Amino acid sequence: MKIKIDGNYYEGNLGETLLELAIRNNIDIPNLCHKSGLIGQGRCRLCMVEVTEGTKTKIVSSCVFPIKNGIEVSTSTENIIKIRKDIIMLLLLRTPNNEYIKSLAEEYNVVPPTRFVDVNSKENCILCGLCVKACESMGTNAISLVNRGTTKAVSTPYDDASKDCIGCGACADVCPTNNIKLVDKNNERNIWNKKFNLVPCSRCGKYYTTEQAINYVNKKLNTNEEPLCDSCKRKIIGEKFKESCQNIY
Amino acid sequence: MNDKCDNKKKILVCCGTGCIANNSIEIYNKLNERLKNSDISVEPIIKATGCNGLCEKGPVVKIMPDDISYFKVSTNDVDEIIEKTIKNDITIDRLLYFDTNKKEKIKSHRDATFYKPQHKIALRNIGEIDPLIIEDYLEQDGYKALHKALFQMSPTEVIYEVEASHLRGRGGAGFPTGLKWRTCSKYDQYPKYIVCNGDEGDPGAFMDRSIMEGDPNTVIEGMIICGYAIESHKGFLYIRDEYELARKNMEIAIESARIHGYLGTNILNSGFDFDLEIVRGGGAFVCGESSALMASIEGNIGEPRAKYIRSVEKGLWNQPTVLNNVETWANIPPIILNGSSWFKEIGVEHNTGTKVFSLVGKVKNTGLVEVPMGTKLNTLVFEIGGGIIKDRPFKAVQTGGPSGGCIPKEHLDISLDFDSLNNIGSMMGSGGVIVMDDTTCMVELARYYMEFLSEESCGKCTTCREGINTMLKILTYITEGKGEIDDIDLLIQLGETITEASLCGLGKTSPNPVITSIKYFKDEYIDHIINKKCSAGVCKNLTSYSIEESICIGCGLCKRKCPVDAIIGSKKNPHVIDIKKCIKCGSCYSVCPTGAVIIGGAII
């Protein structure tokens, strides 16, 4: 189907969201709670765009909006830019000392009303929910969004060390504001109030992941692979690729 | 039936939550006990009924067929009622309702100005029947509509009838009920589900509770009819957890409906199956939002989702679902039984039928009121409500709950319907009407609602969670005397963004109290910010009290009332307030008979 975005036509796939289509075509729509591979959430509201369908124009969050044939999209009208700036301002009021949000504010020329800024704030979580989505996708479900309103937060059940957490660190990996503290020290990992022993890479010997994570993946995939760190894994794949290429030519 | 039966007196004791809190169960028990041991020739039937609406004047006891209503009855009155009214047909004047408009005692509550303009459809049986006895409901034409639907109408005809009635959802948004049913019926995906939204959460609104407590069968009947119309066999009643009595009465009603063959398999031998299940609410205000409610039924966190795909297509467990509010369901049986043209005669164009309002705040008569759509706000406040307490000046009305808007004096002649209310920036919501007089500070009111919403926002989307919280901060600054004039523009700016960019209805409507109060009472904001004065005397930092020497008659009332002995003065001489001691409670202001106590701004 044909979708018009900012005057140009793009070919959309059935079931795709507007944001996915935009990302595929290198159209810039800012977003914080989206990550390819994880289903859209509509939390951060930064990806709001204007959609015209027939005679009706509405403002939608592109990360959850299913594309339809014949719609026209504007990604940067005056109103959309105002909404984006306001949302960044609100996030900045929540996490005034977070480097990432500060850089975003700078990029969009947002200056918060100083009277309402808590200069001593240590808050870094913008409640985008990506960590929860990542944990959910792993199948572990160790963390969740808890409470509501101003007390909403991400946590393990009762803030205790979760028996389901395997210390894989997927949550920390997807966090846009670097809020989740994953500390690797003395061959030990500390995350979500839980301690894990780290396992060395069978090639380079670097301590890189937890025993629980390896067991979990092996069990889930019904395999028994040797523990390999990311860079060794990449190296091996590269070598295999090179070999197969040599066989062809 | 013999003559003896016709002579039977019926005593109806209201056993709604309000009256129970005022001991109506004890009255009911004492009546039973006394009559058992008496030699009265007429056999009275005592019934525990649902709420009559005038909760404030409870417990309410009605005697039929004489149609006498007694208010504020206590257990001490029981013997007198039996002796005089039951045995000797003498009315006890003391217990009658005093009509503040007519300035007289009224024998039948039906003649009171509170009830006269009312037209009961959703509340038709409440206070008249015992909600726990299904025969009582059957006597009032109960389940006749279901009979008619199952045996005389096709599912399409049922949908057509509801559509033709122009009934709109009573939960707040006013979406056409028939259209919802029709859309859902078109999807060939089974199973389909039916949901009753009984998660009433607006402060001051209690019509849904009253219906579930007082006439649970009408909700059940409405849901079965919809099940038949859209080919659904399973319904859920999501009831707010705090509504214990509603849940209990609903459970009993469902059980007796099953026993009588109205629920379960092969209903009334029609071949149609349908059953209901009660789900206890999770305790969050936002679960009244349809998609959050469904998430909650599924066992997930009560967070709404974007509704680009509607619940009628993908609702509960991604199956087609029809969700209606309690009051909407209560309207279905009468529509099917009496026909859409009967229903359309009531109300105004595009806003047919009636609406139940819970009238609360600074009016003389508070309680549940069911009036035809299009009734003027004036009628509601001054006729039914009897005007403002102590005849103080009227200031505004808040409709639509915490995310509704305030309506000022100049719009008092507005017609109470979905469209007119939306046009002036307020909304129908669930029908809460809070009346305010001149002692209400509009800035503080807006702050109060923002505080409520900041706690009750589900916190999913940034604009609602952070936006409301920031508006709350700004409003708190203003009420504390730290406001700046640019704050008003910032409030408007944020209000627009929250409205446009929030995920669900709760977020989108949340700035309403602030935006409407700025629109209609901007002077009060400016007074707070520039003059550092709260003329209602509510914001303590912006209030000071003084006594006008020339008006004070030295009666000493204020001096006696003052809890901190801040008032000095001798009899018949002007009194003075010691500002250093004064805690600004306002007791002197409300007690002064001559209006000599004056509210001033902050003393800097």
Residues of A in contact with B470 (CB under 8 A): 90, 93, 116
The reported pLDDT for the residue numbered A11 is 95
- Residues 6 or more apart from A240 whose CB is under 8 A from it? none
The reported pLDDT for the residue numbered A73 is 97
Task: Please provide the average confidence, as pLDDT, over all residues in chain B.
Answer: 91
Average pLDDT over every residue of B542-548: 94
Instruction: Tell me, rounded to whole angstroms, the distance of Cα B391 from its chain centroid.
Output: 23
Share of chain B above pLDDT 90, in %: 71
Structurally, chain B folds into a number of domains equal to 5
pLDDT tens by residue, B11-25: 888 888 788 888 888
CATH number of the structural domain spanning residue B591: 3.30.70.20
pLDDT tens by residue, B291-335: 999 999 999 989 999 989 999 999 999 999 999 999 999 999 999
**Given an 8 Å threshold on Cβ–Cβ distance, is A45 in contact with B502?**
yes
The reported pLDDT for the residue numbered B3 is 38
Instruction: Let me know whether B522 and B568 are in one domain.
Output: no
Would B73 be classed as within a structural domain? yes
- Among B497, B529, B561, the domain-final residue is B529
Instruction: Let me know whether B155 and B290 are in one domain.
Output: yes
End-to-end CA distance of chain A: 41
Half-sphere exposure of B299 (CA within 13 A, CB side): 1
End-to-end CA distance of chain B: 81
Share of chain B above pLDDT 70, in %: 97
Instruction: Let me know whether B280 and B392 are in one domain.
Output: no
Instruction: Please choose, from the candidates B579, B599, B440, the residue with its C-alpha nearest in 3D space to the C-alpha of residue B517.
Output: B440
Q: Where are the domains of chain A?
A: 2-76, 87-124, 130-245
Nearest to A61 among B306, B455, B456 (CB): B306
The reported pLDDT for the residue numbered B269 is 96
Residue A35 pLDDT > 60, yes or no? yes
Question: Nearest chain A Cα to B497, which residue?
Answer: A83
Instruction: Let me know whether B326 and B215 are in one domain.
Output: yes
Would B520 be classed as within a structural domain? yes
The yes or no reply on domain A2-76 and CATH 3.40.50.970 is no
Would B536 be classed as within a structural domain? no
pLDDT class for B1, splitting at 50, 70, 90?
Answer: very low
Residues of A in contact with B471 (CB under 8 A): none
> What beta strand segments (E) does B300-342 contain?
321-325
Distance set, CA B395 to CA A219, B435, B513, B587 (Å): 69, 8, 15, 21
Q: Which residue has the higher pLDDT, B140 or B16?
A: B140
Would B473 be classed as within a structural domain? yes
Average pLDDT over every residue of B58-72: 87
Residue B339 pLDDT > 60, yes or no? yes
Chain B interface, best mutation among A86, A94, A110, by max B CB count within 10 A: A86
Nearest to A94 among B308, B466, B501 (CB): B466
Question: Nearest chain B Cα to A113, which residue?
Answer: B490
**Given an 8 Å threshold on Cβ–Cβ distance, is B459 in contact with A79?**
no
Residue B54 pLDDT > 80, yes or no? no
| pTM (predicted TM-score) | 0.89
**Given an 8 Å threshold on Cβ–Cβ distance, is B484 in contact with A115?**
yes
Question: Nearest chain B Cα to A41, which residue?
Answer: B305
Instruction: Let me know whether B156 and B290 are in one domain.
Output: yes
Instruction: Let me know whether B167 and B245 are in one domain.
Output: yes
Q: Which residue has the higher pLDDT, B507 or B48?
A: B507
- Among B297, B324, B344, the domain-final residue is B344
Residues of A in contact with B503 (CB under 8 A): 42, 45, 61
The reported pLDDT for the residue numbered B5 is 42
Instruction: Tell me, rounded to whole angstroms, the distance of Cα B81 from its chain centroid.
Output: 31
Nearest to A90 among B470, B474, B503 (CB): B470
Average pLDDT over every residue of B508-537: 95
A78 touching B (Cβ < 8 Å): no
Nearest to A90 among B458, B459, B462 (CB): B462
Distance set, CA B93 to CA B24, B64, B74, B83 (Å): 20, 17, 15, 14
Would B379 be classed as within a structural domain? yes
Question: What is the nearest CA distance from A26 to chain B, expressed in angstroms?
Answer: 24
B497 touching A (Cβ < 8 Å): yes
Residue A226 pLDDT > 70, yes or no? yes
d(CA A43, CA A61) in angstroms, rounded, equals: 9
A with B: how many residue pairs have Cβ under 8 Å apart?
A: 104
Residue B514 pLDDT > 70, yes or no? yes
Residue B557 pLDDT > 90, yes or no? yes
Say if residue B304 is preceded by a cis peptide, omega within 30 of 0.
no
pLDDT tens by residue, B232-261: 999 999 999 999 999 999 999 999 999 999
Name the 3-class secondary structure at A159.
Answer: helix
**Given an 8 Å threshold on Cβ–Cβ distance, is A127 in contact with B465?**
yes
The reported pLDDT for the residue numbered B2 is 37
Choose the most confident range, by mean pLDDT, from B90-94, B403-407, B428-432, B433-437: B433-437
Residue B120 pLDDT > 60, yes or no? yes
The reported pLDDT for the residue numbered B4 is 40
Q: Output helix, strand, coil percentages for chain A, rounded to the nearest 5.
A: 35, 20, 45
Residues of A in contact with B484 (CB under 8 A): 115
Question: What is the nearest CA distance from A65 to chain B, expressed in angstroms?
Answer: 7
- Tokens 């909006």, located at residue: A65
Instruction: Let me know whether B232 and B320 are in one domain.
Output: yes
Residues of B in contact with A115 (CB under 8 A): 477, 482, 484
Instruction: Tell me, rounded to whole angstroms, the distance of Cα B388 from its chain centroid.
Output: 19
**Given an 8 Å threshold on Cβ–Cβ distance, is A86 in contact with B309?**
no
Residues of B in contact with A61 (CB under 8 A): 306, 501, 503
Question: What is the nearest CA distance from A181 to chain B, expressed in angstroms?
Answer: 22
d(CA B300, CA B559) in angstroms, rounded, equals: 58
Average pLDDT over every residue of B526-535: 95
Task: Find the Cα–Cα–Cα–Cα dihedral A110, A115, A119, A121, rounded to 10°.
Answer: -90
Q: What is the largest CA-CA distance in chain B?
A: 86
- Strands A207-210 and A194-200, sheet pairing: antiparallel
Name the 3-class secondary structure at B370.
Answer: strand
Residue A247 pLDDT > 90, yes or no? no
Choose the most confident range, by mean pLDDT, from B14-18, B200-204, B221-225, B242-246: B221-225
pLDDT tens by residue, A123-137: 999 999 999 999 999
Instruction: Let me know whether B71 and B138 are in one domain.
Output: no
Instruction: Let me know whether B366 and B451 are in one domain.
Output: no
d(CA A166, CA A195) in angstroms, rounded, equals: 10
CATH number of the structural domain spanning residue B33: 3.40.30.10
pLDDT tens by residue, A139-159: 999 999 999 998 999 999 999
The reported pLDDT for the residue numbered B128 is 85
- Residues 6 or more apart from B316 whose CB is under 8 A from it? B193, B195, B236, B294, B297, B298
B470 touching A (Cβ < 8 Å): yes
Would B119 be classed as within a structural domain? no
The reported pLDDT for the residue numbered B7 is 58
- Residues 6 or more apart from B235 whose CB is under 8 A from it? B193, B194, B195, B196, B223, B224, B227, B274, B275, B276, B277
DSSP letter at B72 equals S
Average pLDDT over every residue of B8-37: 85
In this structure, what token pair is assigned to residue A115?
A: 């009277």
Instruction: Let me know whether B515 and B560 are in one domain.
Output: no
B474 touching A (Cβ < 8 Å): yes
Nearest to B462 among A79, A87, A150 (CB): A87
pLDDT class for B97, splitting at 50, 70, 90?
Answer: confident
Would B129 be classed as within a structural domain? no
Distance set, CA B473 to CA B446, B483, B502 (Å): 12, 10, 19
The reported pLDDT for the residue numbered B180 is 97
pLDDT class for B6, splitting at 50, 70, 90?
Answer: very low
Instruction: Let me know whether B179 and B326 are in one domain.
Output: yes
Average pLDDT over every residue of B561-588: 93
pLDDT tens by residue, B374-421: 999 999 999 999 999 989 999 999 998 888 899 999 999 999 999 999
Complex-level ipTM: 0.92
Instruction: Let me know whether B237 and B190 are in one domain.
Output: yes
Residues of B in contact with A42 (CB under 8 A): 305-306, 460-461, 503
The reported pLDDT for the residue numbered B44 is 63
Instruction: Please choose, from the candidates B157, B407, B186, the residue with its C-alpha nearest in 3D space to the C-alpha of residue B310.
Output: B186
Print the domain residue range for B158: 134-344
Least confident of B103-117, B355-369, B492-506: B103-117
**Given an 8 Å threshold on Cβ–Cβ distance, is A43 in contact with B462?**
yes
CATH number of the structural domain spanning residue B374: 3.10.20.600
Question: Nearest chain A Cα to B467, which residue?
Answer: A90
